[in-house]
């Protein structure tokens, strides 16, 4: 998902004194790169030489200045790797010729049981805080504690235990950005999901500062997503970790989904 995953309020932001208007595709807001985000374009792919413990493919896309309203020509690469350690690894990279926001993520849906809903999946998140959002799921700027709320997964808790207590999300379910403890600095463990019946477990490691938990609310919680990324609408919140990429800089990000079974 890109050029900017998640939401940008009213599809607008100001960068270096210039206001940019983006494609609006989620009510009044911009979502996951717009009407034609990175998930709807053709990427150039090449197989990578198979290493001792992994094989993969590298995808490249040249996004032109003005696409979906964004400034700058950017070149984006995403490398998908499968390892002998049962890991699915994603390495992202991007460069630009003009200052622009960049926030890349993956929206894969997971159901470790293979069918049914994910209510019995047990989730742990390395997140003591979350970004408070309004009814349009746009952050207010407040970062609040999860303690005493249905968003507290600091101890392993089933997805369905408190899902009906969620307010402000229609259809009901989780669609929240969590602030990863110590996130955004190095590759760390951010989440663990387990299906107790099958014994399957997925661990998520990432270099990103946040993770969006989405429980497939429009398809009756048939899966969940753990979208590692910067916070929603970061470009309009100076207090959030910056998503701005400038010429001469290289955007780099890594996320690993690791699978095991008892």
The residues annotated with a catalytic role in the active site are: 107, 227
Residue 79 near residue 58, CB atoms below 8 Å? yes
* Cα→Cα distances 122→167, 198, 199, 238, Å: 21, 12, 11, 34
Peptide bond into 14 cis (omega under 30): no
Q: Nearest Cα to 10, choosing from 135, 112, 105, 138? A: 138
- The residues pairing with 55 across neighbouring beta strands, listed in sequence order, are 82
| Residue 262 Cα to chain centre, angstroms | 28
Q: Angle 31-183-144 (CA atoms, 0-180°, nearest 5)?
A: 70
């Amino acid at each position: 998902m890109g050029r900017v995953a998640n939401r940008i309020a009213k599809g607008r932001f100001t960068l270096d004194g210039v206001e940019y208007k983006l494609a609006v595709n989620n009510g009044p807001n911009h979502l996951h790169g717009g009407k034609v985000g990175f998930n709807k374009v053709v990427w150039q792919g090449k197989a990578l030489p198979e290493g001792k413990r992994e094989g993969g493919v590298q995808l490249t896309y040249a996004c032109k200045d003005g696409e979906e309203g964004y400034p700058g020509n950017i070149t984006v690469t995403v490398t998908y790797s499968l390892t002998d350690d049962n890991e699915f690894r994603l390495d992202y990279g991007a460069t630009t010729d003009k200052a622009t926001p960049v926030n890349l993520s993956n929206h894969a849906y997971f159901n470790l049981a293979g069918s049914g809903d994910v209510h019995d999946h047990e989730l742990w998140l390395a997140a003591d805080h979350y970004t408070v959002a309004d009814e349009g799921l746009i952050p207010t700027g407040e970062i609040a504690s999860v303690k005493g709320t249905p968003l507290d997964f600091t101890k392993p808790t089933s997805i369905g235990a408190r899902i009906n207590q969620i307010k402000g999300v229609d259809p009901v379910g989780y669609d929240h950005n969590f602030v990863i403890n110590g996130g955004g600095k190095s590759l760390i463990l951010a989440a663990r999901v387990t299906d107790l019946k099958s014994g399957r477990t997925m661990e998520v490691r990432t270099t990103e500062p946040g993770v969006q938990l989405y429980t497939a609310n429009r398809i009756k919680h048939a899966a969940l997503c753990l979208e590692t990324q910067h916070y929603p609408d970061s470009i309009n919140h100076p207090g959030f970790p910056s998503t701005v990429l400038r010429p001469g800089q290289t955007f780099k990000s890594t996320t690993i989904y690791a699978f095991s079974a008892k």
